[in-house]
């Protein structure tokens, strides 16, 4: 029998791994019977790429469920599973692991009740690493082979202090919104928790993918396989040189290095 390989590497798979992690999806015991765990995706995994990740899974759940723009399912997951997890941790856990410059705030929600939210800067390095693992898993699910090449990622839910980065974020989002209108298939059987969308390869052979958690937190990926050409984009080069550059996408202008405004 042919041996099955891991979704991340060439080792033999010994188990299966949920992508995204199971803990992001509310459990039936919390939802009083509503099922947010329909047809979850699993991919074959080796010991190394599965067992050592349980801490990361919880970190990811705490980071994503706490985001303020989340839909009601995300809020719900924060109030139940995330709060239980935090109670088990010592006081420094959030500050050290999940959010930098962390503070609790009370806000009034639409039903008139107050709820406590966590505000701070996400630990983006660790978050990026977790999300990249999910991207590899979804690539495997989509193309039935592990991805070999370079993976670029951009987080739509991070507020960047650099103005160019903020503009670039809007530019990328617009690009993905245009793709979305082309009716690429949206995948994921529990869209209130998570869905994703692969795009056709572009002129350079790059494959784009968007993930959306709790209806709000978007992460964008670009898979550059071994056969893809290196894209050379004059506007991007000028932008990085600090020269005022305007990029236009579907009639909307994005201005980089704009000193006047």
Provide the token pair at 102.
């962390």
Complex with Zn ion: residue 29 or 52, whichever CB lies closer: 52
The binding track of 79-118 with respect to Zn ion, each residue x by CB under 5 A or -, is ----------------------------------------
Complex with Zn ion: residue 6 or 131, whichever CB lies closer: 6
To the nearest whole angstrom, how small is the minimum distance from the Cβ of residue 200 to Zn ion? 28
Q: Environment class of residue 103 by beta-carbon count within 10 Å: exposed (0-12), middle (13-18) or buried (19+)?
A: exposed
To the nearest whole angstrom, how small is the minimum distance from the Cβ of residue 6 to Zn ion? 3
Q: In this structure, are residues 193 and 31 in contact, taking their beta carbons and an 8 Å threshold?
A: no
Q: Which of 6, 40, 41, 43 binds Zn ion (CB under 5 A)?
A: 6
**Euclidean distance between CA atoms 155 and 174, whole angstroms:** 14
Q: Which of 4, 9, 151, 255 binds Zn ion (CB under 5 A)?
A: 9
Closest among 186, 190, 159, 210 to 76, alpha carbons compared: 190
According to DSSP, the residues that pair with 212 across neighbouring strands are 195, 218
**Euclidean distance between CA atoms 250 and 85, whole angstroms:** 45
**Euclidean distance between CA atoms 192 and 28, whole angstroms:** 15
The binding track of 36-75 with respect to Zn ion, each residue x by CB under 5 A or -, is ----------x--x--------------------------
**14-to-42, 98, 199, 235 alpha-carbon distances in Å:** 13, 30, 31, 46
User: Would you count residue 249 as binding Zn ion (CB under 5 A)?
Assistant: no
User: Would you count residue 19 as binding Zn ion (CB under 5 A)?
Assistant: no
Complex with Zn ion: residue 45 or 75, whichever CB lies closer: 45
In the complex, the residues that contact Zn ion under the rule CB under 5 A are: 6, 8-9, 11, 46, 49
């Amino acid at each position: 029998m042919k041996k099955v390989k891991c979704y991340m590497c060439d080792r033999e798979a010994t188990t299966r791994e949920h992508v995204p992690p199971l803990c992001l999806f509310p459990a039936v015991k919390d939802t009083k019977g509503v099922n947010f765990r329909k047809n979850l995706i699993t991919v074959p995994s080796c010991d190394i790429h599965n067992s050592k990740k349980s801490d990361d899974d919880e970190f990811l759940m705490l980071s994503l469920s706490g985001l303020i723009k989340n839909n009601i399912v995300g809020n719900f997951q924060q109030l139940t599973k995330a709060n239980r997890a935090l109670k088990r941790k010592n006081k420094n856990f959030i500050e050290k692991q999940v959010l930098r410059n962390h503070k609790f705030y009370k806000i009034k929600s639409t039903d008139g009740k107050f709820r406590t939210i966590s505000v701070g800067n996400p630990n983006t390095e660790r978050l990026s690493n977790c999300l990249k693992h999910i991207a590899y898993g979804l690539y495997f699910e989509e193309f039935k082979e592990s991805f070999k090449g370079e993976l670029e990622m951009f987080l739509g839910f991070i507020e960047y202090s650099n103005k160019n980065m903020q503009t670039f974020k809007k530019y990328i989002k617009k690009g993905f919104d245009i793709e979305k209108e082309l009716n690429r298939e949206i995948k994921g059987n529990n869209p209130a928790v998570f869905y994703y969308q692969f795009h056709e390869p572009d002129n350079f052979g790059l494959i784009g993918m968007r993930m959306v958690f709790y209806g709000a937190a978007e992460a964008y990926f670009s898979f550059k396989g071994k056969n893809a050409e290196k894209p050379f984009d004059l506007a991007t080069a000028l932008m990085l040189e600090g020269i005022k550059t305007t990029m236009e996408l579907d009639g909307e202008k994005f201005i980089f290095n704009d000193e006047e405004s």
